[in-house]
Amino acid sequence: MATIGARLYLSQLSSFREPPQSIGSYPEIGLNEARQRRHDARVLLAHGVDPNEERKRLEKAKILEKSSTLRVVALEFIEKKRKDGFSQKTLYKMAWFFSLVEKDLGDQALNDLMPYEILQAIRKVEENGHYETANRIRGFIARVFRYGVLTGRAATNPAAELGEALIKPKVRHHAAIIDPSAFGQLLRDIDNYGGYIGTRLALRLAPHVFVRPGELRSAEWTDVDRDNSVWKIPSEKMKMREPHSVPLSRQSLAIINEAHVRFGNYKLVFPARKSWRKPMSDATLNKALRTMGYRNEDMVSHGFRSTASTLLNESRLWAPETIELALSHVDDSVRGIYQRSQFWDERVEMAQWWSDYLDHLRAGIDILSPKQFAQRRRKVAPRPIEPTTGYSSNVTMTVRFPGQNYG
């Protein structure tokens, strides 16, 4: 081993036909360490590995490690979801989940994190009784690791199986009124609500269309085809990021037309009271229900979906698939894609039948169960034009036709 100008260590690692290689600089590296480096390089050569290439690989690995911390990958993952069109609310929740474990895990590289370390960080949240939040944090971390695996910064996903080690939260369903008489009273209370007209109109429409509250609040006039009685909700406004079309009954269209008289010059169908440029807040509808005397455990704005699902199924008049499609529970299979087109006519008839039943409940006279109402009144409805889908008709499946009893 020799030095050049007392600056570099050079070593002849193989035959003298190959130029000598630098293994460090003096005096930063002492003689003993230089000799150890020479030894290590010769071991690599003995195993057929080029020391220079190995050094470059290790340098790249160090650079990659700096960009492989949970903080870097999590923020990159959230940014990707922003570009994918996820709502601000969803992005905020992701950032919040990460903030709860950032102090303990943020600076560690994904490949260095062990399952027990992740579990310890999550259990700090769990120990405060926040079982659902703890499970959702685990789910978020697992998604970040999965993204890390796909982008070459993690070899495994240690968070994937941690759910077994966490306390399972009790399943809490959205509070909903499913008794026909009580629901009829709610409809009458909504009609008599004395608050902001936009809130009253939104609450009047909610039972008929039973979309998610966020989809209702963000409705824009460009989404509503009043001529063809169809509300087309774009994918960026949907929870599952799939576009969804809602057939509008005569009653639904009447409420929307009433809203158009009030707010037709605005972008939003139901603008906020204080700013027509913004939708009403996610708490507005629930606050209105509280004002009418309905407690959190009695009814929430999301409960209109549960009510519709329960009573429509009780009618035994509609295919379960039709009800699920109306609730925008997405089926990504080929059969699911075909059903969205095939069951449109039945969804149209169901929407009108449901609105007619709501009118019956609102009247409050000789209340009938859904099944009794179905037996007394057959399905009659106008047919809104089916949304353009582009679905193939070359798929074979068994179709259950409207009018068939599904009991």
DSSP-derived secondary structure letter, 13: -
Q: Any catalytic annotation for residue 47?
A: no
User: What is the C-alpha to C-alpha distance for residues 269 and 276, in angstroms, rounded to an integer?
Assistant: 10
- Among candidate residues 212, 217, 360, 362, the one labeled active-site is 212
Burial of residue 94, with CB atoms counted within 10 A of its CB: 0-12 exposed, 13-18 middle, 19 or more buried = buried
Q: Which tokens belong to 197?
A: 């007209």
- Among candidate residues 305, 347, 360, 362, the one labeled active-site is 305
- Among candidate residues 147, 294, 338, 357, the one labeled active-site is 338
User: What is the C-alpha to C-alpha distance for residues 243 and 45, in angstroms, rounded to an integer?
Assistant: 59
Q: Any catalytic annotation for residue 9?
A: no
Q: Any catalytic annotation for residue 360?
A: no
List Cβ neighbours of 274 (8 Å cut-off, separation of 6 or more).
none
Q: Any catalytic annotation for residue 173?
A: no
CA dist list (Å): 113 to 76, 94, 109, 277: 18, 20, 7, 45
Region of residue 293 (left: phi > 0; alpha: psi -120 to 50; beta: else): left
DSSP-derived secondary structure letter, 44: H
Distance of CA 71 to the CA centre of its chain: 21
- Among candidate residues 35, 55, 123, 239, the one labeled active-site is 239
User: What is the C-alpha to C-alpha distance for residues 390 and 81, in angstroms, rounded to an integer?
Assistant: 27
User: What is the C-alpha to C-alpha distance for residues 143 and 157, in angstroms, rounded to an integer?
Assistant: 9
- Among candidate residues 316, 329, 378, 383, the one labeled active-site is 329
Q: What is the distance between the terminal CA atoms of the chain, rounded to a whole angstrom?
A: 90
Q: What is the CB neighbour count within 10 angstroms for residue 116?
A: 11
- Among candidate residues 38, 143, 217, 302, the one labeled active-site is 302
Q: Any catalytic annotation for residue 338?
A: yes
Active site residues: 212, 239, 302, 305, 329, 338
